[in-house]
Amino acid sequence: MPRLTKKFVESTLPQDKDLIIWDSEISGFLCKVTPTGKKSYFLYYRTQDRRQRRPKIGDHGVMTCEQARSIAQRWLLEVSQGNDPSIEKQDLRHMPTLKELTHQYMREHAPRKKASSRKEDYRLWQQHILPTLGSLKVSSLDRSDIAKLHHSLQSLPTTANRVLSLLSKALNLSELWGYRPNHSNPCLHIKKYKEQKRERFLSQVEIARLMNILEEDEKNSGNPWALYAIRLLLITGCRLNEILTLRWEEVDFNNQCLRLSDSKTGKKLVYLSRTCCKSV
């Protein structure tokens, strides 16, 4: 048996059937040459319970003979310690990518969230996370992958922080689902960016101007529902979605209030002024 080297492997010609060349130095290390000329490295060994294994190390050309030899030596060391590199390699091959984890997240976890939150999660996955990390195996993601993505969004600190929180939750779930070891979340210790709160109040002049415009639009047969919604937003201070999804059964005229059944913070009571009741 020869010692497998780059020169020897490349000088070996294909035959009518697969040709197996065993290495003279490392037990079980071999190169297979197919009739088409493809050359690949394998390692043959037996596990501690005497099961035969022959996992592929890689193709010649993609890796060098010495690289394959180094992997074969490492695998034999693992075998001597009671491990089975072939099973571990199969486990990695069947491990989901982040894109596949996203599908499971949206299917099993997202339905527990509010519709607006599900929509925002989907947007963050599609626009910011999957284009960069979607093809990576969940088990191979490390802190540098997450930190690089987070840093690339530094000009959008709020978005960057939402992306980090979403990834952290999804990777926590990946531990629960058996795709990563416990307490291995790579989002840990990545510091969020400081966010600038956006707060803007209309001045009395701006409010008067807005009300005048709404009155003019109403006289010109504008959309009455849009006008009423804008007035309610202005008078109540409610969120846009709270007004747009408001139902009549949530309006309590007798007690002059709105009894919102599902706001961002849960059930919510909004007291109405007389002006507001006229708008409603």
At 77, which CATH number?
A: 3.30.160.390
The per-residue DSSP string of 172-210 comes to: HHHHHTTSS-TT--TTTTPPPPPP--------HHHHHHH
On whether both 13 and 88 belong to a single domain, the answer is yes
**Same domain for 83 and 10?**
yes
What is the span of the domain harbouring residue 70? 6-93
Task: Please name the residue ranges forming H helices in the chain.
Answer: 6-11, 65-80, 85-93, 98-104, 115-124, 130-133, 143-152, 157-176, 204-219, 224-236, 240-244, 274-279
The count of domains in the chain is 3
Under a CB-based contact definition with an 8 Å cutoff, are residues 46 and 52 in contact? yes
- Of 67, 93, 119, which residue sits at a domain end? 93
pLDDT of residue 21: 96
Identify whether the C-beta of residue 229 lies closer than 8 Å to the C-beta of residue 280. Answer: no
Structure tokens at 236: 């109540």
- Tell me whether residue 184 is in a domain: no
Per-residue confidence band for 247, with pLDDT thresholds at 50, 70 and 90:
confident
Has residue 56 got a pLDDT over 80? yes
What is the reported pLDDT for 220?
77
Asked if 14 and 68 sit in the same domain, the reply is yes
pTM (predicted TM-score): 0.53
Instruction: Using CB atoms within 10 Å of the CB of residue 138, give its burial: 0 to 12 exposed, 13 to 18 middle, 19+ buried.
Output: buried
Same domain, 37 and 111: no
Residue 209 has pLDDT above 60, yes or no: yes
pLDDT of residue 222: 64
Tell me, yes or no, whether 186 lies in a domain. Answer: no
What's the CATH number where 150 sits? Answer: 1.10.150
Residues 102 and 139 reside in one and the same domain: yes
Pair 164, 127 in one domain: yes
**155 shares a domain with 77:** no
Domain boundary among 62, 93, 124: 93
> What is the share, in percent, of the chain residues with pLDDT greater than 70?
92
**Residues 83, 149 within the same domain:** no
Do 11 and 88 lie in one domain? The reply is yes
- Proportion of the chain above pLDDT 90, given as a percent: 50
Identify the pLDDT of residue 278. Answer: 58
Q: Establish if 157 belongs to a structural domain.
A: yes
What is the structure's pLDDT at 130? 96
Domain endpoint, select from 34, 63, 93: 93
What's the average model confidence in pLDDT over 165-182? Answer: 91
As a whole number, the mean pLDDT across the chain is 87
Residue 258 within a domain: yes
Residues 86 and 135 occupy one common structural domain:
no
Q: Is the pLDDT of residue 27 over 90?
A: yes
